[in-house]
A and B are shown apart, each in its own frame.
Chain A
Amino acid sequence: MNSDPYDSAAWKSFGMLDADENAIFDEAMRHDPALRGHAREMDRLSAAIAAAMAPPIDPAPDQIDHLMGRLGLVPSSLASRWLAISGWTAAAVLGLLLILERTAWKPVNPESQAPGSSLRPDPSTKSAAKAETKRLVQEIEVLRENLEKFQHRDRALFQEIPGMAIPVVMTLTAPEPAADDSPALLRDGAPSPITSMLADAIRTSTSDAGEPQETPETEATELPEEEFAPPPEPPTAIPIYDAARDSGTLVVKHLPAPGEGEVYNLWVITESGEGPVYVGCLPESSASGADTFDFSLGSNMVLPSGFVLTRDPADAPARPTPVNIVLQGPPAPSR
């Protein structure tokens, strides 16, 4: 290997070192910041020259789909295809169930239960079977037509049609706190469920006293007005999303200001089965009561099945967990 560190960095960058020289260079670079600096400088120079000299080439159109498939991510085109397949499957299962149900509920002729009767074809049974067959054939025709309709619907579902919207609207609410969970919203500021229950109990006992009776006990239970201030309204958020145009607005109400150095992050859940996908962070809201934020999901091929709002440190957002989820919708199934 060359003794000049700059030459060595250049030969390394140009792939001119053999395996042994490469290993020696890498080891030396770990201990020598100057050499590391030369190597980075050569990388910058090589990247700039390469970009300036090589005409760009459009990659194969399906390269990104292959890439995402390889990484276990669901490409958007596959997601829509999956929806179409699931539509077909649902229709087929429905059709099968209808047929089975009719067969299962076919009235039983008591005469046919007589010994030996199954060996003698009954003309009336034969004509009934013919009628049933005809009816089933007609039903299959109808089902086939419906299947074609479903297929067409799924194909058309994600095509933007002027004047048409595919609205998705849901309300996000605070998740039910579990025994071992401490949802982000309850960590500070907001009253705990126990405090709320106690306040309700005191309020109920005072209102149940009926007509005002100026008893010393009643007076004694009266607390300063601020302690009876109505509890803060629970925060809600309503995402209104048009899947046909990939355009959405998030309407939030009574969302407390995030703590110092914290932000709210919005996530979307799709039916693809992958985890929540990050949408963006809410800019600091100027309104104290309600505010709206525009968002998009980057593709109009996505039908959201849920949204989640989390609160995280601004520089360290994390995937939604029971700890950082503030609001979610639709509500998680009760545990």
Chain B
Amino acid sequence: MMATHPIPVHALSSGLCEDGSGEAAALIVRMARGDGRSLAELHAMWAPALSGIANRMLGDRQEAGKIVKDTFVRIWRGAADYDPQQMPPFVWAFSLMRDLCIERLRRRSRRRSSESTPPALVEIAEDFRVMPASDWRRVRAALDALPPEERNRLENAVFLGFARPRGGKSHASPSTADKSCLRRALDTVRKLLSRYEL
């Protein structure tokens, strides 16, 4: 079979969310060359995960769909400058989308509906195209090890529940107690995951 565009796996740094097969990075390389089909392939790989994350961040499925589209536009336009040694592909896509979500939340006058009550821990099928199976288990184990209060705050923070609106304080702005709780949660998670090189 004809070879794709293998990016040497050894060129990628190790850690969470690595693109072990190099498939995503190879698609981004093809996108940089203007190959529209690779955009469709990457979209098929990541759009469900990114849509789920955006929906949790924004609390609005329709808005989440728009943000995911905007994210892929940014991925397409930034593909030529993307450096897999700096950041794994999915982390790059996540960062682009999170920044868009933060902007969107800052423009909002109303708050999202789900900010105060993060949904209960649900079993999510492991998708190796997003994150290696071993990472899924490690992250979930680390979160399960947290006291519920710390886990809820960390989850809320990751899904931008404490994001600051433009020019003011959100009523969800973290208190000193929230920040202390977040620090403890992050310390625990870092310790549990440190041997896997974040």
Q: Across the interface, which residues of A come within 8 angstroms of B94, CB to CB?
A: 43, 46-47, 50-51
Within the complex, which residue of A44, A51, A275 is in contact with B15, where a contact is CB–CB below 8 Å?
A44
Which residues 60-98 of A have a CB within 8 angstroms of B? 60, 63-64, 66-68, 70-71, 73-74, 76
The answer, yes or no, to whether A283 is at the interface (CB within 8 Å) is yes
Q: Across the interface, which residues of B come within 8 angstroms of A19, CB to CB?
A: 166
Contact B16 A73 (CB under 8 A): no
The answer, yes or no, to whether B193 is at the interface (CB within 8 Å) is yes
Give bound CA distance, A131 to B95, whole Å.
74
Give bound CA distance, A283 to B5, whole Å.
11
Q: Across the interface, which residues of B come within 8 angstroms of A46, CB to CB?
A: 94, 98, 158
The answer, yes or no, to whether B136 is at the interface (CB within 8 Å) is yes
The answer, yes or no, to whether B37 is at the interface (CB within 8 Å) is yes
Q: Across the interface, which residues of A come within 8 angstroms of B190, CB to CB?
A: 45
Contact A52 B124 (CB under 8 A): yes
The answer, yes or no, to whether A55 is at the interface (CB within 8 Å) is yes
Give bound CA distance, A278 to B17, whole Å.
28
Q: Across the interface, which residues of B come within 8 angstroms of A282, CB to CB?
A: 2-3
Q: A277-B36, A317-B33, A319-B34 are in contact. Are A63 and B160 (CB under 8 A)?
A: no
Contact B65 A60 (CB under 8 A): yes
Q: Across the interface, which residues of A come within 8 angstroms of B164, CB to CB?
A: 15-18
Q: Across the interface, which residues of B come within 8 angstroms of A67, CB to CB?
A: 39, 43, 69, 72-73
Q: A15-B162, A73-B39, A299-B37 are in contact. Are A52 and B69 (CB under 8 A)?
A: no
Q: A43-B87, A44-B88 are in contact. Are A16 and B163 (CB under 8 A)?
A: yes
Give bound CA distance, A68 to B42, whole Å.
12
Q: A49-B158, A67-B73, A266-B2 are in contact. Are A56 and B33 (CB under 8 A)?
A: no
The answer, yes or no, to whether B78 is at the interface (CB within 8 Å) is no
Which of A101-109, A174-182, A187-195, A290-298 lies at the interface with chain B? A290-298
In this complex, which of A14, A275, A295 has the most chain B Cβ atoms within 10 angstroms of its Cβ?
A14
* Mask: chain A, 12-52; 1 = CB below 8 Å from B; 0 = not: 01111111000000000000000000001101111111111
Q: Across the interface, which residues of A come within 8 angstroms of B25, CB to CB?
A: none
What range describes how many residues of A lie at the interface? 35 or more
Contact A293 B53 (CB under 8 A): no
Residue of A nearest to B49 (CB): A56
* Mask: chain B, 88-101; 1 = CB below 8 Å from A; 0 = not: 10110011001001
Q: A15-B162, A16-B174, A319-B33 are in contact. Are A58 and B40 (CB under 8 A)?
A: no
The answer, yes or no, to whether A114 is at the interface (CB within 8 Å) is no
Contact B33 A45 (CB under 8 A): no
Q: Across the interface, which residues of B come within 8 angstroms of A47, CB to CB?
A: 16-17, 90-91, 94-95
Give bound CA distance, A266 to B1, whole Å.
13
The 7 A-B pairs with the shortest beta carbon distances in the complex, nearest first, are: A15-B163, A56-B48, A73-B36, A280-B2, A47-B94, A54-B52, A15-B102
Interface set of A (CB-CB < 8 Å, partner B): 6-7, 10, 13-19, 40-41, 43-60, 63-64, 66-68, 70-71, 73-74, 76, 250, 266, 274-275, 277-283, 293-295, 297-299, 317, 319
List 26 contacting pairs A-B, 8 Å CB cutoff, sorted by A: A19-B166, A46-B94, A47-B16, A48-B131, A49-B143, A53-B56, A53-B143, A54-B52, A54-B124, A54-B159, A55-B52, A55-B122, A56-B48, A56-B49, A57-B64, A58-B48, A58-B51, A59-B43, A59-B48, A59-B68, A67-B43, A67-B69, A71-B39, A274-B36, A283-B2, A295-B1
